[in-house]
Amino acid sequence: MSDTLSDTDVLIIGSGAAGLGLALRLPESVRCTIVSKRDLQEGNTLYAQGGISAVLDSADSLESHVADTLNAGAGLCDEAVVRTVVERGPAAIRWLAEQGVAFTQTPPTGDSQFHLTREGGHSHRRVVHAADATGRAVETTLVERVRQRPNVTVLEYHIAVDLTRTGGRGAPRRCTGAYLLDLRRDRVVAAPARCVVLATGGAAKVYLYTSNPDVATGDGIAMAWRAGCRIANMEFIQFHPTCLYHPKAKSFLISEAVRGEGGRLLLPDGTRFMPKFDERAELAPRDIVARAIDHEMKRLGAECVYLDISHKPAAFIEEHFPTILARCLELGFDMRKEPLPVVPAAHYTCGGVKVDRSGETDIPGLFAIGETAYTGLHGANRMASNSLLECLVYSELAAERIVQRLAEPCPLESVPPWDESRVTDSDEEVVVSHNWDELRRFMWDYVGIVRSNKRLARARRRVDLLRREIDEYYGNFRVSNDLLELRNLLEVADLIVQSAQRRRESRGLHYNIDFPETDPNQAQPTVLIPDNYVPSPRG
């Protein structure tokens, strides 16, 4: 069954900080529709613990924040983008505070009105936070504000199937909308729009172990690639060093702020090991810490290492990490008295859909913001707490550009109804679940923290085998949530493997034991170009 939704000015696919921030930045005269795969607040933003980096203390400086970001990015950041994001950071924090986000203020740090913490890669305290649940404070506040906006329509429990566009093969192109699967009524609907924004988050669910919620399946990246957009830097997947190691603690992150406030990483025998890997020890950037943990676990055959902050006063831990403490106590760990068992897990997608300085993709009218996008901010490694900052800044930049786009003469294009005339209901759902598991396991084994040419070749062969099976399945059966997510994860896996095979060096988050050194001649982004790519001049 298929029908067409009422047309909208801006179709925002995704409901994290980037998507909600954009909706709130647009004038109330602009009709917006926000699409969410689950409840409106479900997504990576909700689970972000640490905070948002911005220069809010006179002891800090914009130049220092820029330098730290460039250093973490290992030579692949776009410096102009870094400066734009850093310079707009303080205003973005003030905007959030005006929306009602209750950042921790007491005791303040330096001459900032907020308490600031420090995380890996930062040379100063510049991370504003709401205790240890910053993402929840941001997300729930923005959700409340969006629900009050009369110009915003919310579609929960809808997953995007694919984008629609006009033109191609040399003709001018423009994004015209998308097809959405209504999960509650099990039908595909056409959603025409004058502008479409991909704010679907990252793709870390492509790995077996991840800090991300189940919705992080790379939908926006995969759809943009199929529509003809360039994709960049997909080899740079950030593995968070410290996820709680417990069979019932699915995706539970132990914030980097724990290390920022003095937490120490220990081997099973209690020996501290980070100082021998980096002079910054536990405050080194995440790629260094994750590789060090991976190295020690493999050397010792250990199932985990330990993160210890029990040397701090109990009251300090209770004040700074109430959410983490409560969850750990539920699972039988008291971080006030003992170390926590931790392991690395896939956390953040540094690459994504290539966009310009306003978040617009290669297809006019199609934007990508947040973790879905590659802006040039993160380079070969994302510095802690720069991600929510990027979401906020680019939601503002995209809003400014979208207002300009909507002022141009642009008739709304119709979107053809979804055609289900040649498909049937599946009687073999086991194919989807089996392939889902196989994909995530071989990506973890072969394209994880440490890679090799042989491992990447093995992964590529498995991607090719699964693609044939999934394409056949997709062509013959009605779409479902699991099938759409699997199809997108496979696309993302292919992009990650292709990018990793092209980078014949080790840099940032990409470490290949066959090319262990950094090659200065490869100090540029890895850009993949789809077969249906058509360059379009900016209007």
Biggest CA–CA distance in the chain, Å, is 68
Three-class DSSP category at 441: helix
From CA 225, how far away is CA 200, in angstroms rounded?
14
In Å, what is the CA distance from 25 to each residue of 48, 51, 96, 245, 499? 22, 21, 11, 39, 34
Three-class DSSP category at 470: helix
Q: Are 192 and 7 in contact (CB under 8 A)?
A: yes
Dihedral of alpha carbons 194, 198, 200, 206, sign: positive
Three-class DSSP category at 86: helix
CA angle 63, 25, 385 (to 5 degrees): 40
* Surface-to-core class of residue 269, CB atoms within 10 Å of its CB (0-12 exposed, 13-18 middle, 19+ buried): exposed
From CA 7, how far away is CA 295, in angstroms rounded?
53
From CA 49, how far away is CA 326, in angstroms rounded?
14
Instruction: Please state, as a whole number, how many other Cβ atoms lie within 10 Å of the Cβ of residue 534.
Output: 15
Instruction: Please state, as a whole number, how many other Cβ atoms lie within 10 Å of the Cβ of residue 501.
Output: 18
Tokens of 130: 């709401």
Q: Are 337 and 310 in contact (CB under 8 A)?
A: yes
Q: DSSP label at 281? A: G
Check 25, 165, 286, 382 and give the catalytic one.
286
Active site residue 286: yes
CA angle 258, 263, 269 (to 5 degrees): 135
Three-class DSSP category at 265: strand
Peptide bond into 107 cis (omega under 30): yes
From CA 229, how far away is CA 221, in angstroms rounded?
9
Q: DSSP label at 56? A: -
Residue positions annotated with a catalytic role = 286
